[in-house]
A and B are shown apart, each in its own frame.
Chain A
Amino acid sequence: MPIIEIKNLTKKYNDLNAVDNLNLQIAEGEIFGLLGPNGAGKTTTLLMLTTLKPPTSGTATINNFDIIKQPDKVRKSIGIVFQDPSSDEILTGYENLKLHGWLYDMPDDLREERIKEVLALVDLTDRKNDRVKKYSGGMRRRLELARGLMHYPKVLFLDEPTLGLDPQSRDVIWKYIEKLAKEKNITIILTTHYMDEADKLCNRLAIIDRGKIVVMGYPKELKKQLGGDIIRLKGENIDLEVFNKLKYVKKITKCDSEVCLTVEDANKHLQEILKVAGKVDSVEIRSPTLDDVFLHYTGRGIREGTPEGSWADKAMHSGMQGGTRR
Chain B
Amino acid sequence: MSELKGIYALWYREFKVFLRERSRVISSIVNPILWLLIIGGGLGSAVSFGGINYQSFIYPGVLIQTALFSAIFFGVYIVWDKKIDFMKEVLVAPMRRTSIFFGKILGGSTDTLLQIFILFGIGLIFVTIGLMPELHLNIFSIAVSVAFLFVTTVGLVSIGLTIGSQMESPEGFQLIVSFLIFPMFFLSGALFPITNLPSYLAPLVLVNPVTYAVDGIRGVMIGFEFSRFNIAFDFAIVCLFAVIMILIGTYAFKKMKI
Interface residues in chain A, defined as those with a beta carbon under 8 Å from any beta carbon in chain B: 47, 50-53, 72, 75-76, 78, 80, 82-88, 90-91, 95, 99-100, 102-105, 147, 321-326
Contact = CB atoms under 8 A, between A and B. Distances in A.
B128 interface: no
Contacts of A75: 92-94
Nearest to A101: B9
A216 to B, nearest CB: 26
Main secondary structure of the interface of B (DSSP, over half): helix
A105 B84 contact: no
Interface stretch (B10-18, B40-48, B189-197, B221-229): B10-18
B86 A83 contact: no
A103 B17 contact: no
Nearest to A147: B89
Nearest to B16: A91
Interface in B1-48: 1-2, 5-6, 8-9, 12-13, 16-17, 20-21
A105 B2 contact: yes
Nearest to B23: A326
A75 B13 CA distance: 21
B254 interface: no
Interface of B: 1-2, 5-6, 8-9, 12-13, 16-17, 20-21, 77, 80-81, 83-86, 88-95, 170, 258
Contacts of A100: 89, 93
A140 to B, nearest CB: 11
A21 to B, nearest CB: 23
Contacts of A321: 83
Given A90-B17, A102-B12, A80 B92 contact: yes
Contacts of A147: 89
Nearest to A76: B94
Contact of A326 (B6, B77, B89): B77
A326 B19 CA distance: 13
A86 B91 contact: no
A75 B16 CA distance: 27
B115 to A, nearest CB: 16
Contacts of A322: 84
Given A75-B93, A86-B86, A95 B16 contact: yes
A326 B9 contact: no
12 contacts: A53-B258, A75-B93, A80-B88, A83-B85, A84-B85, A85-B86, A90-B20, A103-B6, A105-B5, A325-B86, A326-B77, A326-B80
